[in-house]
């Protein structure tokens, strides 16, 4: 069973967080006191690995405590069932075969409530409710093959006679789910049908009749069936592991004290982590203590016990030595284990063999090791696990945080991960859909997508993460045009420069063109920049992704003023899917392709005879080159355009192309509050500085 989404209500600073979707991993970003820890705490108590009940007196929002009641919902989860779980539900009742998930809530009293997804409508447990099934039962009995001669003959008529007595003397509205004489009579009447049915040899109809009778019995017994369903779902819920419950592992474990507190159930968080380590190493602390005592042993027996204990620890040390090989790449190090009197000691050995106690290693290393041991053991308990981490890697170097992010991604392949962070190095910009922002509102903490948040300060970690991607393109410009990829920048800049040199409309010089790396990232970039009071235009391909991104930006409270353009706006063909390359005349674009691939194509140059009107030129070229065994590179053609287009006399461009590009440039320039025509300085393309720069880059 996998977590699909969560929602927290009536918990500390949260009245209603709103629903937050979860796939494999979820990052919660927000400023201090925004409710990140509260979200994680509430989720953990929903179904913790170690029982920990909700405390309404301490955890219900104080400003609303007059509203408190123990039936107040704290957490609602939506979960997805796997195929085996769906099959097991269908075995409880065939009508559950289409159920693929469930919505489960838990209140302050600790009670779970389950709603199936999609919800199924069950008939009322009375004669009126089961009447359609009785009609269906009669139809099946009517079709029963009763042609067999002999003792088995006449079964169909006996079944119909028995069916006619079902419900006799019972009012339509009588609730048959409760113990009563009516319920007993109804069940006896159905049992008579089941007994008679065994005399039939029509196996196909017998099975159908049995299934219908089963559905009727399940319907009048639905309260018990419903209880079984709820129990099954609750038992299958993923377990939540909150790392704060386990302290950083100590390098020294005093075994007698540890065993004493373990037996009494009084381990502190630090010892809990040690318990996890010993469990992973399959070391029995009680046995180690007994082997280390002298009482009742001869000197030879003492020596043998000590040797046995040392051998146990040495073997465990071999298991732990390779533990960090795949997860810690900051420094070559291995773990070592040793027994020292009543103490079990953990050392960190460098590549040169020198050892230091665990406490003398970095805080980041200690945290990383402790976290990994805990999660590794909790996730081996045979149930789906959701790991909850509050500010993971706080003591880690940024490079180590990247390692941690990689490890979390690997762990999330089998177990889901939800973590909070302030660090830009713990944000995966390649998977923006995994990020949620927590913002404070007058109605408490809310969870939202980054592009829809109204809390600019909550976006600071995202802004820092985006800074790396934006640093080369944005500089200090007040106006920015976001395009989807680097080839859009190359082509658009080249065309604009050539138009400007020919005294035609172009993109204003103070608008900086920046590639975002894709349509979805354009939405996030636009939100970030708009939040910093920068003028932003976004140029999108007019495909499905582009339409989705535009919708996000229109709905964004911060970025709704963003000037969002589709490539096909230049042609005023709103229904056509277009990329920037499609604005070039097809014959001209194919010329650049043929020149770029002249070595591979030779005289077998591409033409546009087979190019359909609505097919994107880049897709057409890619397919045609593939037929010739040539791999297409968008970047290679774009570089050819940068180098060759400035040499084409402006007069040779088709009027429609010039008109489309000037229209697009005009739309882009509207980003500025008062757009005024910039002075044009005509230059010969022979001395184009842009051409010179790109020509050098070609080599």
Q: Taking the chain (699 residues) in consecutive chunks of 10 residues, what is each chunk's mean pLDDT?
A: 95 93 92 86 91 93 92 96 94 91 96 93 88 92 71 75 89 90 91 87 87 91 91 94 77 91 89 87 90 86 89 80 58 75 84 75 78 72 81 77 81 88 83 85 84 74 67 57 89 94 90 81 71 75 82 66 80 84 92 93 87 87 91 93 93 93 91 55 35 32
pLDDT of residue 326: 56
DSSP string over 155-214:
HHHHHHHHHHTTTTT--TT--TTS-SHHHHHHHHHHHHHHHHHTT---HHHHHHHHHHHH
CB 483 within 8 A of CB 583: no
* 14 & 91 share domain: yes
End of a domain among 378, 398, 418? 378
Q: Examine the domain organization and report whether 112 and 230 are in the same domain.
A: yes
Cα(369)–Cα(390) distance, rounded to whole angstroms? 16
- Give the separation between CA 163 and CA 156, rounded to whole angstroms: 10
If asked whether residues 543 and 657 sit together in one domain, one would say yes
d(CA 660, CA 28): 44
pLDDT attached to residue 560:
54
Report residue 405 as tokens: 């992010």
pLDDT of residue 476: 47
- Residue whose entry in the numeric block shows the structure tokens 């409270």: 557
Q: Using the 8-state DSSP alphabet, how is residue 608 labeled?
A: S
Q: What pLDDT sits at residue 414?
A: 83
334 φ/ψ angles, rounded to the nearest 5 degrees: -135, 155
Domain identity same for 337 and 372:
yes
Residue 466 lies in a domain: no
Is 545 part of a structural domain of the chain? yes
Predicted local confidence at residue 698, as pLDDT: 34
The overall pTM is greater than 0.75: no
Domain membership of residue 171 as a residue range: 127-220
- pLDDT at position 558 is 52
Residue 83, classed as helix, strand or coil, is: helix
Q: Is residue 455 part of a domain?
A: no
Return d(Cα 553, Cα 559) in angstroms, integer.
Answer: 6
- Residue 251: per-residue pLDDT: 87
602 shares its domain with 691: yes
Residue 638 lies in a domain: yes
Of the three residues 378, 403, 434, the one that is the final residue of a domain is 378
Task: DSSP letter for 48, please.
Answer: B
Distances in Å between the alpha carbon of 203 and those of 160, 189, 651, 659? 17, 22, 85, 77
Q: Say if residue 364 is in the same domain as residue 388.
A: no
- Contact in structure between 582 and 660 (CB atoms under 8 Å): no
d(CA 2, CA 86): 13
CA distance 95 to 92: 9
| Separation between Cα atoms, residue 60 and residue 52, nearest integer Å | 16
Q: How many domains does the chain have?
A: 4
Report the DSSP pairing between strands 2-11 and 20-21: antiparallel
User: Is 456 within a domain?
Assistant: no
* Same-domain status, 588 and 618: yes
DSSP 205-261: HHHHHHHHHHHHHHHHTHHHHHHHHHHHHHHHSPEEEEGGGSPPPPSEEEHHHHHHH
Is 469 within the bounds of a domain? no
């Amino acid at each position: 069973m996998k977590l699909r989404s969560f929602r927290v209500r009536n918990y500390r600073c949260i009245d209603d967080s709103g629903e937050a979707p979860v796939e494999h991993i979820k990052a919660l970003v927000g400023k201090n006191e925004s409710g990140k820890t509260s979200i994680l705490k509430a989720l953990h108590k929903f179904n913790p690995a170690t029982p920990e009940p909700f405390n309404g007196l301490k955890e219900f929002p104080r400003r609303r405590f007059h509203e408190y009641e123990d039936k107040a919902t704290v957490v609602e989860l939506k979960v997805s069932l796997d195929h085996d779980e769906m099959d097991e539900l269908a075995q409880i009742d065939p009508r559950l075969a289409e159920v693929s998930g469930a919505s489960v809530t838990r209140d302050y009293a600790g009670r779970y409530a389950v709603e199936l997804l999609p919800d199924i409508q069950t008939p009322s447990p009375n004669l009126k409710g089961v009447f359609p099934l009785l009609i269906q039962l009669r139809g099946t009995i009517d079709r029963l093959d009763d042609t067999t001669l002999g003792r088995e003959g006449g079964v169909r008529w006996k079944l119909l006679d028995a069916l006619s007595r079902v419900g006799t003397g019972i009012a339509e509205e009588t609730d048959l789910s409760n113990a009563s004489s009516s319920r007993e009579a109804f069940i006896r009447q159905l049992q008579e049908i089941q007994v008679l049915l065994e005399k039939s040899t029509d196996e196909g109809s017998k099975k159908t009749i049995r299934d219908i009778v089963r559905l009727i019995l399940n319907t009048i017994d639905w309260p018990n069936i419903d209880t079984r369903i709820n129990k099954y779902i609750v038992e299958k819920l993923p377990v939540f592991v909150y790392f704060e419950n386990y302290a950083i592992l100590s390098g020294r474990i005093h075994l007698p004290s540890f065993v004493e507190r373990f037996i009494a159930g009084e381990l502190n968080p630090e010892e809990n982590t040690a318990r996890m380590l010993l469990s992973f190493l399959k070391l029995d602390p009680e046995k180690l203590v007994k082997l280390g005592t002298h009482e009742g042993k001869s000197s030879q027996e003492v020596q043998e016990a000590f040797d046995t204990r040392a051998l146990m620890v040495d073997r465990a040390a071999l298991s732990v030595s390779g533990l960090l090989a795949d997860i810690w790449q900051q420094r070559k190090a291995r773990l070592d284990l040793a027994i020292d009197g009543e103490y079990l000691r953990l050392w960190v050995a460098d590549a040169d063999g020198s050892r230091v106690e665990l406490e003398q290693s970095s805080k980041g290393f200690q945290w990383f090791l402790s976290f990994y041991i805990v999660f590794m053991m909790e996730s081996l308990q045979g149930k789906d696990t959701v790991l909850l981490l509050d500010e993971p890697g706080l003591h880690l170097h940024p490079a180590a945080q990247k390692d941690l992010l990689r490890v979390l991604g690997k762990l999330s392949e089998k177990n889901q991960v939800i973590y909070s962070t302030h660090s830009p190095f713990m944000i995966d910009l390649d998977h923006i859909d995994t990020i949620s922002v927590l913002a404070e509102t007058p109605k408490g903490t809310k969870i939202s997508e980054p592009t829809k948040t109204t809390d600019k300060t909550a976006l600071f970690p995202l802004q820092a993460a985006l800074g790396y991607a934006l640093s080369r393109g944005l500089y200090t410009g007040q106006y920015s045009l976001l395009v989807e990829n680097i080839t859009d920048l190359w082509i658009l800049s080249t065309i604009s420069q050539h138009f400007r040199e020919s005294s035609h409309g172009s993109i204003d010089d103070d608008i900086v063109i920046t590639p975002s790396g894709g349509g979805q990232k354009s939405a996030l970039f636009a939100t970030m920049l708009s939040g910093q009071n920068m003028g932003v235009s976004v140029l999108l391909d007019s495909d499905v992704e582009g339409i989705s991104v535009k919708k996000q930006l229109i709905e964004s409270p911060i970025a709704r003023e963003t000037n969002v353009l589709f490539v096909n706006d230049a042609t005023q063909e709103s229904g056509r899917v277009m990329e920037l390359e499609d604005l070039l005349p097809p014959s001209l674009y194919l010329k650049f392709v043929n020149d770029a691939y002249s070595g591979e194509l030779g005289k077998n140059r591409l033409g546009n005879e087979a190019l359909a009107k609505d097919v994107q030129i880049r897709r057409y070229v890619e397919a045609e080159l593939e037929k010739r065994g040539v791999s297409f590179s968008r970047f290679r053609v774009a570089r050819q355009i940068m180098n060759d287009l400035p040499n084409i006399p402006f007069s040779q461009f088709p009027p429609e192309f010039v008109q489309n590009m000037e229209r697009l440039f005009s739309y882009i320039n509207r980003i500025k509050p008062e757009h005024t025509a910039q002075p044009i300085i005509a230059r010969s393309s022979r001395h184009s500085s842009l051409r010179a720069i790109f020509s050098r880059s070609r080599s």
